[in-house]
């Protein structure tokens, strides 16, 4: 009997024995799910992929009355102009500086705050602090911008009134190139710290308590427990948060800058998005504005790919 089975197996080709059965797509069973997702697909095609055809304007001397077809093609003219124009380079530099400062402090401050808050054992106080810190995240920059304009006003603002009590002259935070970037970073922390703090607190809660008990037996104090147990356990989520932030490194926060900046701080506060808005929409130079926006998108895509590869290599995290 065994010899017969072995002879039969030998006669079957090796490819047939190792070939996996095909998975059939049963559309008759899954069509309700496809129908459910169809509206979202249509909206994405219309509002996300449809406008991408406008990228062609970056390579044209686009005239609205001529349209895409009859407008003259100029190749890389607008990209060359962008790099030859000193102010465009300054805008790119401003975007990098503001974004990197936001990325660095947007990780350090929430992480430190989460570690400190984790040491608080009075639950009512802990939840109250979490709520207060998290509340600005739900407010738009239109509201927060108006609040900051009043709070930081050189004439009557709360901050300058407090500075006046210690003999400091009023500071025009939103009108000084020396202070605008600092104001942007600090106000961004004010709004975003609460959300990232909750993310890090959630990562702390999954750390095995037995590790802390073993560390206490070995004589480790709270600082050593944090350094050798908590932070290594949080490394994957820290890398994931940093990776997601890296994809937005050239955004620098259009909503925030647009609601806070003014011509006095264009030198240090003007970023790519606000520059594209003024050049492309306000001034009507659609081709040049599209070229600058396309440059930003390409660089952002490269940074996202690099960030995802680093996250997969060091944290074994990936989306696809």
pTM here? 0.78
Q: Of 2-16, 28-42, 62-76, 187-201, which gets the smallest average pLDDT?
A: 2-16
- Does the pLDDT at position 72 exceed 90? no
Q: In the structure encoding, which two tokens stand for residue 254, read together?
A: 């259009």
Share of residues in the chain with pLDDT > 70 (%): 89
- Confidence band (pLDDT; 50, 70, 90) for 320? low
- Does the pLDDT at position 29 exceed 50? yes
- Does the pLDDT at position 233 exceed 80? yes
- Does the pLDDT at position 5 exceed 50? no
pLDDT of 159-184, one tens digit each?
888 888 888 888 888 888 888 999 99
What's the rounded Cα separation, in Å, for the pair 221 and 26?
59
What's the rounded Cα separation, in Å, for the pair 247 and 88?
21
Least Cα distance to 297 among 251, 256, 245, 255 occurs for: 251
- Confidence band (pLDDT; 50, 70, 90) for 223? confident
Mean pLDDT of 131-143: 88
pLDDT of residue 14: 47
What's the rounded Cα separation, in Å, for the pair 57 and 251?
21
pLDDT of residue 40: 92
pLDDT of residue 13: 52
Q: In the structure encoding, which two tokens stand for residue 218, read together?
A: 């070995």
How many residues can be counted in the chain?
Answer: 320
pLDDT of residue 237: 83
The per-residue pLDDT of the chain, averaged, comes to 82
| List of residues 6+ apart from 24 with CB closer than 8 A | none
pLDDT of residue 41: 92
pLDDT of 238-287, one tens digit each?
887 887 777 677 777 888 898 888 888 888 888 888 888 888 888 888 88
Mean pLDDT of 28-36: 82
pLDDT of residue 25: 60
- Does the pLDDT at position 224 exceed 50? yes
- Confidence band (pLDDT; 50, 70, 90) for 42? very high
Mean pLDDT of 15-40: 69
- Does the pLDDT at position 11 exceed 60? no
- Confidence band (pLDDT; 50, 70, 90) for 61? confident
pLDDT of residue 15: 47
pLDDT of residue 43: 93
- Does the pLDDT at position 102 exceed 70? yes
């Amino acid at each position: 009997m065994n010899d017969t089975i072995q002879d039969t197996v030998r006669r079957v080709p090796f490819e047939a024995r190792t070939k996996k059965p095909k998975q059939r797509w049963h559309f008759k069973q899954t069509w309700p799910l496809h129908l459910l997702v169809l509206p979202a697909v249509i909206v994405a095609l219309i509002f996300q992929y449809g406008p991408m055809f406008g990228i062609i304007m970056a390579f044209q001397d686009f005239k609205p009355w001529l349209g895409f077809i009859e407008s003259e093609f100029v190749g890389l003219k607008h990209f060359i102009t962008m790099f030859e124009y000193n102010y465009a380079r300054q805008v790119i530099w401003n975007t990098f500086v503001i974004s990197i400062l936001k990325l660095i402090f947007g990780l350090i401050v929430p992480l430190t705050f989460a570690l400190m808050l984790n040491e608080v054992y009075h639950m009512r106080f802990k939840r109250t602090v979490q709520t207060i810190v998290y509340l600005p995240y739900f407010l738009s920059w239109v509201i927060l911008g108006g609040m900051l304009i009043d709070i930081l006003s050189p004439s009557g603002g709360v901050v300058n009134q407090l500075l006046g009590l210690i003999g400091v002259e009023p500071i025009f935070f939103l009108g000084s190139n020396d202070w605008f970037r600092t104001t942007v970073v600090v106000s961004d922390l004010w709004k975003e710290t609460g959300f990232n703090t909750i993310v890090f607190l959630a990562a702390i809660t999954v750390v095995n308590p037995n590790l802390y008990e073993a560390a206490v037996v070995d004589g480790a104090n709270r600082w050593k427990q944090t350094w050798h147990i908590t932070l290594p356990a949080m490394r994957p989520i820290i890398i994931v948060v940093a990776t997601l932030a890296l994809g937005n490194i050239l955004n620098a926060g259009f909503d925030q800058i647009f609601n806070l900046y003014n011509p006095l701080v264009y030198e240090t506060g003007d970023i790519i998005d606000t520059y594209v808005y003024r050049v492309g929409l306000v001034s009507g130079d659609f081709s040049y504005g599209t070229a600058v926006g396309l440059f930003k998108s390409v660089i952002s895509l490269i940074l996202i790919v690099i960030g995802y590869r680093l996250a997969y290599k060091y944290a074994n995290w990936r989306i696809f």
